[in-house]
């Protein structure tokens, strides 16, 4: 599952508690004076998954001028509770402090659940009880080619007209190649044929925007070909093959309103005339101090998902040029046999292919930098299990 991605989470954590930013275009920068306590508010990221594993990330807000990721809230005790007091324990991941996961579960539709947690410092927090919502299946996930790029769209419906508020996020994965295919490598103090492919790789990225819609103004709960994202026609993501995994969440009206405000606060900032961000008040509370803000909204719902692939062969033939990021890698170096050890033993240069005389005698190797040859600098050469 995917919840609030790290880029959005980092931006939101900086905006807490009153979401004050330096306005672009001002003559004098505005540096808000916030109390130390204001920079250490709890941030709760995640939801109660009614049909699977629940993952909750806990962190702390930090100063608007800080860089990097927000500090994590480790060693907490985290539970999912129903109104009868039954508990499901979420355990902290050893490899990811501040991330807590539950066993796979199936929660009763309509029954109310909440998140209840205790920080390592002993403070107690809880979300409001909320009824489980069942998310309908994604009917279709498609794409449409336009002059300027490829639009990804989604369709869904709820025959019972119960799910009227929707949110989507997605994970993108794309296949790409480096600028040069290396046939050789320096290994055991000599040039050998390369065994591992470092020309073809894959990389992934989460969505960085919040996509919402509702069907309250329609006669029925139907979403038809809603645009989710657009890929420019020169995007490197389309160079070989592209895949997107879309995850759909049906929400309550209250949670939808929270995410809509979060969307406005994180996407509409940037000019002097943009409205100041509003304070985000979710459904998580500090039980020791009700006046202390907490950022986060913990809903209870199932998630449905669907994957789409787009192959380069499905795109218009004129789309032959892509902004790969390797544009500066056109020039290579010739390394002759007498210079092989000095050039390749430090791995500052990587051999590409052999240089031969007219008679077929090996004279040396063409070479380029690892950034232009080794695709692992930008991804992984391990083929994803879902790739086709």
State the sign of the Cα–Cα–Cα–Cα dihedral 266, 213, 48, 303: negative
**In this structure, are 29 and 82 located in the same domain?**
yes
- DSSP-derived pairing of the beta strands 130-131 and 165-177: unpaired
Q: Is residue 340 a contact partner of residue 191, using CB atoms and an 8 Å limit?
A: yes
**In this structure, are 336 and 278 located in the same domain?**
no
Q: Flag whether 94 is in a domain.
A: yes
Q: Flag whether 386 is in a domain.
A: no
Residue ending a domain, among 275, 304, 333, is 304
**In this structure, are 14 and 118 located in the same domain?**
yes
How many independent structural domains does the chain possess? 2
pLDDT of residue 62: 79
**In this structure, are 3 and 88 located in the same domain?**
yes
Q: Flag whether 270 is in a domain.
A: yes
Q: Flag whether 310 is in a domain.
A: no
pLDDT of residue 70: 80
Q: Is residue 181 a contact partner of residue 123, using CB atoms and an 8 Å limit?
A: no
User: In DSSP terms, which residues pair with 201 in a beta bridge?
Assistant: 176
**In this structure, are 60 and 192 located in the same domain?**
no
Helix, strand or coil for residue 6?
helix
pLDDT of residue 330: 76
- CA of 298: how far to CAs of 92, 184, 286, 287, 294, in Å? 18, 53, 14, 16, 11
The upper half-sphere exposure of residue 189, i.e. CA atoms within 13 Å in the direction of its Cβ, equals 0
d(CA 339, CA 332): 15
Q: Flag whether 15 is in a domain.
A: yes
Q: Flag whether 158 is in a domain.
A: no
Q: What is the pTM of this model?
A: 0.85
d(CA 221, CA 81): 30
**In this structure, are 129 and 41 located in the same domain?**
yes
d(CA 187, CA 189): 5
**In this structure, are 190 and 53 located in the same domain?**
no
**In this structure, are 31 and 73 located in the same domain?**
yes
Q: Which two tokens stand for residue 132?
A: 């489980």
Q: Is residue 170 a contact partner of residue 242, using CB atoms and an 8 Å limit?
A: no
pLDDT of residue 39: 58
Q: Flag whether 115 is in a domain.
A: yes
CB atoms within 10 A of CB 25: 10
pLDDT of residue 318: 78
Closest CA to 234 of 331, 147, 330, 154: 147
**In this structure, are 343 and 275 located in the same domain?**
no
- Residues in the chain, total: 388
Q: Is residue 187 a contact partner of residue 204, using CB atoms and an 8 Å limit?
A: no
**In this structure, are 64 and 96 located in the same domain?**
yes
Q: Flag whether 295 is in a domain.
A: yes
Q: Which two tokens stand for residue 261?
A: 């405000």
Angle between helices 253-267 and 6-15 (to 10 degrees): 80
**In this structure, are 284 and 360 located in the same domain?**
no
**In this structure, are 192 and 94 located in the same domain?**
no
Residues of the chain with pLDDT under 70: 1-39, 64-67, 268-279
pLDDT of residue 100: 99
Query: What range does the domain containing 371 cover?
Result: 184-198+318-377
d(CA 56, CA 33): 31
């Amino acid at each position: 599952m995917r919840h609030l991605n790290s880029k959005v989470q980092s931006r939101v954590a900086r905006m807490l508690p009153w979401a004050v930013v330096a306005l672009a275009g001002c003559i004098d920068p505005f540096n808000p004076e916030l109390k130390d306590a204001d920079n250490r508010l709890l941030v709760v990221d995640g939801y109660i998954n009614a049909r699977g594993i629940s993952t909750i990330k806990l962190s702390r807000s930090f100063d608007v001028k800080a860089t990097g990721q927000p500090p994590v809230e480790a060693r907490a005790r985290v539970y999912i509770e129903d109104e009868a007091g039954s508990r499901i324990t979420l355990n902290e991941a050893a490899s990811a402090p501040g991330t807590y996961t539950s066993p796979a579960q199936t929660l009763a539709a309509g029954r109310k659940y909440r998140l209840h947690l205790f920080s390592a410092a002993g403070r107690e927090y809880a979300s409001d009880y909320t009824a489980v919502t069942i998310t309908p299946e994604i009917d279709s996930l498609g794409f449409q080619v336009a002059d300027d790029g490829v639009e990804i769209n989604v369709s869904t419906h709820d025959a019972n007209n119960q799910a009227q508020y929707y949110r989507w996020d997605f994970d993108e994965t794309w296949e790409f190649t480096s600028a040069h295919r290396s046939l050789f490598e320096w290994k055991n103090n000599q040039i050998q044929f390369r065994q591992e492919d470092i020309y073809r790789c894959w990389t992934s990225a989460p969505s960085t925007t919040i996509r919402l819609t509702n069907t309250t103004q329609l006669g029925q709960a139907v979403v038809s070909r809603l645009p989710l994202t657009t890929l420019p026609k020169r995007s490197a993501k389309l160079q070989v093959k592209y895949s997107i995994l879309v995850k759909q969440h049906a929400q309550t009206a209250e949670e939808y309103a929270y995410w809509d405000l979060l969307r406005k606060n994180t996407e509409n900032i940037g000019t002097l005339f943009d409205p100041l961000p509003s304070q985000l008040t979710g459904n998580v509370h500090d039980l020791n101090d009700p006046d202390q803000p907490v950022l986060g909204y913990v809903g209870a719902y199932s998630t449905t998902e669907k994957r789409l692939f787009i192959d380069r062969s499905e795109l218009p033939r004129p789309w032959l040029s892509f902004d790969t990021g390797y544009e500066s890698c056109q020039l290579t170096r010739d390394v002759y046999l007498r210079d092989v050890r000095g050039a390749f033993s430090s791995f500052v240069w990587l051999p590409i292919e052999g240089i031969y005389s007219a008679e077929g005698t090996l004279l040396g190797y063409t070479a380029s930098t690892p950034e232009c040859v080794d695709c692992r600098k930008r991804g992984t050469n391990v083929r994803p299990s879902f790739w086709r």
